[in-house]
C-alpha cells in the first residue's frame, strides 16, 4: 500500500506568499508563522541575511511538521549599501520612501526548501527596481495608507506603490515576496509532485 503523500508546509506569516503560491496551483497543507529574530548580523550582506533567515524559518517548520516538504522565505530591499526590512512605524516609513525616491534598488529574496528526508536547498533571487522621484505629498499620502505595513522596504508593488515604479528588471513576483519560478523548480527537483496533478 502507498502511504499518504507528505504534507507541504509554508513556514511564513505572509499572506502574500500564500496568495502567490495559489497562482501556480500550489496549496500548502499547513501554514506556520515562525518566530525568529530578523536583525542582521554584523557585516552580513543582504544575500547572506535572506539565506540565513529563510533557512531558520524553514527549520522551525521542519521541527513542527517533521516528514514534510517545508518552504521558508525572506525578502529585503537593498539600496545604497543599506538593507531595508519592514518599516516599524510611520517615521521610519517616511525615511524608507525618501531613500528609495528616484533611485534603483534591489529586492532580494532567499528561499529554503526541505524535503521529507530533511535534505535542503536554498536559492537567492534578485530583482532591480527603479522608483520615480517622489514628492512630499506622494510620500505623506502613502505613509497614511496601510499597505506598506509588513512589507519589505516599506512598499507593496502589487498595490498603490506600483505607480512609483519606473522600471523593473527581473521577476515581478520576487518583489511581491516570492519568486515563483524558482520555488516551483526547487520543489519539483526535490520530489514534490502534488502540483503536477493540478496544473
Cα torsion 22, 25, 31, 33: sign: negative
| C-alpha cell belonging to residue 61 | 517548520
Cβ 101 vs Cβ 131: under 8 Å: yes
Query: At which residue does the C-alpha cell 524553514 appear?
Result: 58
Task: Please pick, among 74, 146, 150, 196, the residue that the annotation labels catalytic.
Answer: 74
| C-alpha cell belonging to residue 40 | 542582521
Please say if 74 is a catalytic residue: yes
Q: For residues 189 and 199, give the distance between their C-alpha atoms in angstroms, rounded to a whole number.
A: 17
- Output the CA angle 188-192-197, nearest 5 degrees: 95
CA torsion 170-14-42-92 (nearest 10°) is: 90
Cβ 9 vs Cβ 193: under 8 Å: no
| Residues identified as active-site | 74
Amino acid at each position: 500500500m502507498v502511504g499518504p503523500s507528505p504534507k507541504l508546509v509554508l513556514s511564513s506569516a505572509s499572506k502574500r506568499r500564500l496568495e502567490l503560491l495559489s497562482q501556480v496551483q500550489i496549496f500548502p497543507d499547513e501554514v506556520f508563522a515562525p518566530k525568529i529574530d530578523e536583525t542582521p548580523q554584523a557585516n552580513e550582506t543582504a544575500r547572506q541575511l535572506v539565506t540565513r533567515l529563510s533557512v531558520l524559518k524553514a527549520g522551525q517548520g521542519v521541527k513542527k511538521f517533521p516528514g514534510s516538504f517545508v518552504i521558508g522565505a525572506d525578502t529585503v530591499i537593498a539600496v545604497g549599501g543599506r538593507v531595508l526590512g519592514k518599516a516599524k512605524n510611520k517615521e521610519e516609513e517616511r525615511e524608507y520612501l525618501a531613500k528609495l525616491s528616484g533611485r534603483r534598488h534591489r529586492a532580494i529574496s532567499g528561499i529554503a526548501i526541505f524535503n521529507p528526508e530533511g535534505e535542503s536547498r536554498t536559492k537567492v533571487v534578485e530583482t532591480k527596481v527603479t522608483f520615480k522621484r517622489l514628492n512630499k505629498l506622494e510620500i505623506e499620502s502613502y505613509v497614511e495608507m496601510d499597505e506598506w505595513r509588513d512589507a519589505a522596504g516599506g512598499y507593496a508593488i502589487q498595490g498603490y506603490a506600483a505607480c512609483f515604479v519606473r522600471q523593473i528588471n527581473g521577476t515581478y513576483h520576487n518583489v511581491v515576496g516570492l519568486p515563483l519560478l524558482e520555488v516551483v523548480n526547487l520543489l519539483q527537483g526535490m520530489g514534490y509532485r502534488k502540483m503536477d496533478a493540478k496544473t
